């Protein structure tokens, strides 16, 4: 409940901040006949920071003969052992992210962006099955704290007084500080382990708003993991999964 309250407060704060900035922007549009920061996009490079929220999940592909997977001798002894598995599901959670913006101008409408980011979030693997004819559900929570190193190309539309739209695309390397890869086997709550190193391709769209003293941007971006993050172990819980790829949706507010 504490985590939920913190996330709700962060979301409320960001939405309130966006509302205040939009109101200020609307007033400036009325007050200024000419565009703000007219030479801003002529700079070779500039910096800033970003705040945002994310929705973190997995793209999971179970094996085709899921119900034939059996407990192996290597399985950790847990309270609720399964006779058979009927499904393996994921449940997404919300988190937040903060980053530092570095922007290099390549051409009039092209930029190269490097935004190292600290991303916090949670994901869950949900195992459903039966034991002695009774239904059983076990959940594996997977907390993640990513250090992200994304490199993006940004294509911007022609500026319309104090606004412009843009699209971004690129690649990202992420290192998970909270990965359960090296946790002790004796921890009976560990059903599956995920790796620490992840690679993504990313696509997104956003809007730039030019204020009198700074540029503010809103951006939504999808991150799609490339490698299989599941660490193979000879257990029912890992043998039931064919592939496990990371997947994130991020909404960011950038100040530059």
DSSP string of 120-171, one letter each residue? EEEEEEEEEEEETTEEEEEEEEEEEEEEEEEEEEEEEPPPBTTEEEEEEEEE
- Determine the pLDDT at residue 79: 47
- Whether the per-residue pLDDT at 183 is higher than 80: the answer is no
Can you name the CATH fold of 2-255? Porin (2.40.160)
Neighbour-count burial of 63, counting CB atoms closer than 10 A to its CB (0-12 exposed, 13-18 middle, 19+ buried): middle
Mean pLDDT, residues 76-81 taken together: 52
Q: For 94-103, 117-126, 136-145, which range has the lowest pLDDT when averaged over its residues?
A: 136-145
- Determine the pLDDT at residue 97: 95
Mean pLDDT, residues 240-253 taken together: 93
Q: What is the token pair recorded at 16?
A: 């309130």
- Determine the pLDDT at residue 21: 52
pLDDT band for 197, please (50, 70, 90 cuts).
very high
Neighbour-count burial of 148, counting CB atoms closer than 10 A to its CB (0-12 exposed, 13-18 middle, 19+ buried): buried
Question: What is the torsional sign of CA 229, 232, 235, 241?
Answer: positive
- Whether the per-residue pLDDT at 69 is higher than 50: the answer is yes
- Determine the pLDDT at residue 7: 56
- Whether the per-residue pLDDT at 145 is higher than 60: the answer is yes
Q: Report d(CA 44, CA 36) in Å as an integer.
A: 18
Please provide the distance, in angstroms rounded to a whole number, between the alpha carbons at the two ends of the chain: 34
Mean pLDDT, residues 224-251 taken together: 90
**pLDDT tens, position by position, 6-33:** 555 555 555 555 555 555 555 554 444 5
Q: Would you say 97 and 117 are in contact if contact means Cβ atoms under 8 Å apart?
A: yes
- Determine the pLDDT at residue 1: 47
- Whether the per-residue pLDDT at 65 is higher than 90: the answer is no
């Amino acid at each position: 409940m504490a985590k939920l309250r913190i996330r709700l407060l962060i979301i409320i704060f960001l939405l309130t901040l966006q509302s205040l900035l939009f109101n200020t922007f609307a007033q400036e549009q009325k007050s200024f006949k000419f565009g703000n920061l007219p030479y801003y996009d002529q700079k070779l490079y500039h910096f800033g920071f970003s705040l945002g929220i994310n929705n973190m999940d997995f793209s999971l592909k179970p094996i085709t003969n899921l119900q034939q997977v059996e407990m192996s001798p290597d399985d950790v002894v847990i309270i609720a052992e399964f006779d058979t598995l009927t499904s393996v599901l994921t449940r997404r959670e919300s988190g937040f992210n903060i980053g530092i913006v570095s922007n290099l101008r390549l051409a009039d409408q092209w930029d190269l962006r490097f935004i190292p980011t600290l991303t916090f979030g949670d994901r869950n693997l949900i195992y459903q099955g039966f034991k002695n004819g009774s239904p059983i559900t076990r959940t594996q929570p997977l907390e993640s704290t990513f250090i992200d190193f994304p490199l993006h190309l940004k294509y911007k539309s022609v500026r319309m007084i104090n606004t412009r739209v843009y699209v971004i695309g690129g690649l990202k390397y992420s290192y998970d500080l909270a990965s359960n890869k090296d946790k002790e086997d004796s921890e009976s709550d560990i059903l599956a382990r995920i790796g620490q190193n992840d690679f993504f391709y990313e696509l997104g769209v956003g809007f730039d708003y030019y204020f009198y003293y700074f540029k503010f941007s809103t951006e939504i971006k999808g991150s799609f993991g490339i490698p299989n993050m599941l660490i193979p172990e000879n257990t029912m819980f890992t043998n039931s999964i064919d592939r496990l790829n990371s997947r994130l949706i991020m909404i960011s507010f950038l100040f530059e």
